[in-house]
Structure 1
Amino acid sequence: MWFSLTRAAGVIQRHVLGMFLPAFIAGPLVDRWGSRPVAWLGCLLLTTSATIALSGQSEVFFLVSSFCLGLGWNLMLVAGTTLLSEGHEASERGQAQALMELGNGGLAALMTFASGALLVNIGWSAVNLLVLPMLFIAALALWSLRKPQAQTD
């Protein structure tokens, strides 16, 4: 299905809003709930995005899916950055952050160029289905990072 330029721009606008609008609340959410619950919420939103995208290809599916994608991305990025800093000594945090930003930016640029080829060669549904195993891996990583329970003797 093809959309007019105006409609396609609306989908992209919703995605960008989803990516950057939560920046005002993502940090306070991490402060209040902790980085792991916020990352879980981001993972849930990304799963919701893929599920909605697989449910239909009308404009409303693209709008809602793209918005959820942006929200999930933002929450995962902010929570992941916080988790990264928790795993390093103060003297290492700057270098770890820089390496993460380099990897994130490089992968984003690569996938921006690859997205068209992926859509043409494997299709919209397959792209969204491929996201699900990656989210499963992220969920496993979050599960393994849970804080150990205090033992009572």
Structure 2
Amino acid sequence: MVFSTPISLAALPTNVIGGVVMMFVMTAAPLAAVACNHSIDGANMIQWHLVGMYAPSFVAGRLISRFGMPAVLYTGMVLSGACGVVAALSTTLPAFCIALLCLGIGWNFMFVGGSTLLAASHLLHERAAVQGTAELIRGFLTAIATLAAGPILETLGWAELNLAIVPLLLLAAVMTHSWVRSGARMTPA
């Protein structure tokens, strides 16, 4: 049955939550930077974010092979959480850059790891439907996160917006931990 095994119940939230957290914070970051009186020249924070999102792809597969899938997934979660902590503690331009770099790398590890795990969690004939369903869920929830970022930033503030990602990351960690504890293999039987 689709999305009923411990591995798929770890893969889906990791993939989806990684995307939701990334879009939620990334969408609000330029608005928060302007509100903190940083000039538009502060756009280099988005450049650092993009480097964090895509540069790790060159080594993510090797990191998974060397350290294992759980380590890469947990590292992605920790880095995404570090983004929230750095952003909540400081509104300086370097803090924005560091936070968004951490967010990008965290997203990459959660996305690559979650996608790999999702594909490995189902039989070949199920993979297209599972991937399509996962992408639909991720797209829908990231759209909601993107639309909610501005109003939440306006209502709660930058620090609180960043702290709001912690429960989501904890949920991803709990689901990943459940899979690891189950001892399930990465390939279906």
In structure 1, stretches of 5+ residues that fail to align are none
- CA distance in 1: counterparts of 2:140 and 2:56, whole angstroms: 23
Q: For 1:44-55, what aligned pairs fall within 5 Å after superposition? A: 44-55=78-89
- Amino acid of the structure 2 residue aligned with 1:93: R
TM-score, normalised by the number of residues in structure 1: 0.89
Is 1:2 the counterpart of 2:37? The answer is yes
Is 1:117 the counterpart of 2:151? The answer is yes
- Amino acid of the structure 1 residue aligned with 2:106: G
Is 1:107 the counterpart of 2:141? The answer is yes
Give the equivalent residue in structure 1 for 2:17: none
Q: For 1:38-77, what aligned pairs fall within 5 Å after superposition? A: 38-77=72-111
Give the equivalent residue in structure 2 for 1:83: 117
Give the equivalent residue in structure 1 for 2:26: none
In structure 2, stretches of 5+ residues that fail to align are 1-35, 184-189
Q: Which has the higher contact order (CA 8 A, sep 6+)?
A: 2
- CA distance in 1: counterparts of 2:58 and 2:52, whole angstroms: 12
For residues 55-89 of structure 1, give each alpha carbon's deviation from its aligned partner in whole angstroms, at most 9, with x where no partner exists.
11111110000000000000000111112122211
Cα offset, 1:114, TM superposition: 2.3
**Contact in 1 for aligned 2:89/2:159 (Cα 8 Å):** no
- Amino acid of the structure 2 residue aligned with 1:5: I
Give the equivalent residue in structure 1 for 2:63: 29
Give the equivalent residue in structure 1 for 2:10: none
Q: What is the alpha-carbon root mean square deviation over aligned residues?
A: 1.5
- CA distance in 1: counterparts of 2:133 and 2:66, whole angstroms: 27
Local SS of the residue matching 1:88? coil
- Amino acid of the structure 2 residue aligned with 1:135: L
Aligned sequence identity (%): 36
TM-score, normalised by the number of residues in structure 2: 0.73
Cα offset, 1:28, TM superposition: 2.0
Runs of 4+ in structure 1 off by over 4 angstroms are: none
Which of 117, 121, 135 in structure 1 is aligned with 2:169? 135
